[in-house]
Structure 1
Amino acid sequence: MKYLARVNPKYFAAIHQCAAKGDVRYYLNAVQIEPHAAGGVVIVATNGHFMGAIHDPDGWIHPDHKSVLIGTVSKRMLSACAARKGPDGDPPALLWIAEKFSLITSLDDVSEEPELFGKFSHLTEKTELVDGVFPNWRRVIPKKRQKFEGSYPCFNGEYLEVFNKIGVMLSGQKRFGAGGMHLETGEENGSVIVRFNRLDLIELFVGVLMPMRGEELKGFLPAWTKAETESEAA
């Protein structure tokens, strides 16, 4: 069996949160793995409204492939990728991806390809590769900060919740809220760059959140906040 890619399973499970679910544009339901010029791979997914990407410096993709798109992934596989410990008591170390199967193993030695149902295997399961072209995700990443004037754009709060979930998964913590997220608006289309406020993640992960239509804000605060309450007036 020929393996096509190898990545950090925690990274894969986290980025999969940004993939579309049942979209007719089938390539948006996939997670893409592609080589990076500085070494390793980039794992990226988007549903067309928000996107997550991470550089896995230790990741690998077969030299015959410019990218690999992983489509159908079971909840059991994603859960095993994000687990703190596997059935052998050790944390998952690597996710190996083949044409028809994927394997999670606790063995971090890459000198030999792992056996599908070997001693260190946490889970071996059927996965589906997508034969298609993934969007050029770099086009939606703003190149410069926007000089801040006026109000922030309007955003879908569910996507911010997803980014927080990704932060939990990547950090390995039960809660990520105290870590915080950096949000900065780009100058091209008002999209926002999302980065995690952790030394081990701030240079690895990047998210992009597209704005949505919203009511124009006529002031910084609602008008009622400017009037004194009866108790204050007394």
Structure 2
Amino acid sequence: MTNQSAAQQATEASTDSHLIARINAVAVKLVFPFIAKEDIRYYLNGINIRPLPEGGVMIVATDGHRAIVVRDPNGFAEEEIIVAISKDALKHAGSAKNTLDVMSDGQSMFSGKVAEPLFIQPGNALVDGIFPRIESVMNMKGYTEGIQGSLNPRYLYDALVISKSFGDSIRFFTTKSESDALNFTLSGIGDLECFGAIMKKRDLNTGLPAWFPKKQAANTLAEV
């Protein structure tokens, strides 16, 4: 009787589960490099899916040093959630025909164009916690196009790799302030829109070296 009751409860739980989010799988692959890895701030170890008032969703990932936001105009989210992403699932995230589907019971899967499951993530993928308001550090006021300031080259490299893999161009925007992030935008990724930021480093690299010999006047053409 006890076993039957447990089976009935499992069936009822499965029946009650429903879809709470569906996004373009490519968006997951775009933001994955920016997800924190084994951070004690556990809520950063996943992606934030947030419904937008004007429709669609934005997908956010950050490790505290850089952040990336993708707007999926065709995405759906019943509510704001944080979802853990398995690295093994990324091989199914390269096609815009595929989606990441998240259920209310925490089950998540990458599905094909006719909603067939391609990869079911193990366990409960929903992460409890409050994801930081990314708009508090990513702003667009006072920015002009260009790159300025000291940057972690690995973070810059990741942004360039993303643009090479998914888009057809990348543009950088900066301010003179060392406390403002270097922003970038990607284009050419279908219906998706992508905006990212890399925090500048506060280090002793103040610019070109003062010890470099000054230019001397040339006496002959050979010295030019």
TM-score tier by shorter-chain length is 0.7 to 0.9
User: What is the alpha-carbon root mean square deviation over aligned residues?
Assistant: 3.1
Superposed, 1:34-183 pairs within 5 Å as 34-62=50-78, 65=79, 67-71=80-84, 73-82=85-94, 84=95, 92-98=97-103, 99-107=105-113, 114=115, 120-126=116-122, 127-146=124-143, 152-171=148-167, 179-183=168-172
Contact 1:144 1:186 in 2 (8 A): no
Unaligned runs of 5+ in 2: 1-16
Q: Which has the higher helix share?
A: 2
Instruction: Give the letter aligned to residue 68 of structure 2.
Output: G
Q: 1:233 matched to which residue of 2?
A: 223
Q: Name the count of aligned residue pairs.
A: 203
Change (3 A) 1:128 1:147: closer
Q: Distance in 1 between matches of 2:215 and 2:180?
A: 29
Structure 1 residue 145 displacement after superposition = 2.7
Instruction: Give the letter aligned to residue 157 of structure 1.
Output: P
Is 1:14–2:20 an aligned residue pair? no
Contact 2:35 2:47 in 1 (8 A): yes
Change (3 A) 1:123 1:146: closer
Task: Indicate the SS of the match to 2:54.
Answer: coil
Return the match for 1:192 from 173, 178, 182.
182
Contact 1:94 1:105 in 2 (8 A): yes
Contact 1:9 1:95 in 2 (8 A): yes
Unaligned runs of 5+ in 1: 85-90, 109-113, 115-119, 172-178
Contact 2:23 2:74 in 1 (8 A): yes
Q: Distance in 1 between matches of 2:71 and 2:106?
A: 24
- Computing the radius of gyration over CA atoms, which structure comes out larger, 1 or 2? 2
Change (3 A) 1:161 1:7: same
Identity of aligned residues (%): 23
Q: Distance in 2 between matches of 1:216 and 1:54?
A: 33
Q: 1:88 matched to which residue of 2?
A: none
Q: TM-score normalized by structure 1?
A: 0.75
Q: 2:207 matched to which residue of 1?
A: 217
Q: Map Cα deviations across residues 110-141 of structure 1 (whole Å, 9 max, x no partner).
A: xxxx4xxxxx3222222521110000100111
Structure 1 residue 100 displacement after superposition = 2.8
Contact 1:15 1:44 in 2 (8 A): yes
Q: TM-score normalized by structure 2?
A: 0.78
Change (3 A) 1:222 1:42: farther
Q: Distance in 2 between matches of 1:225 and 1:55?
A: 50
Structure 1 residue 143 displacement after superposition = 2.9
Instruction: Give the letter aligned to residue 77 of structure 1.
Output: A
Q: Distance in 1 between matches of 2:23 and 2:211?
A: 48
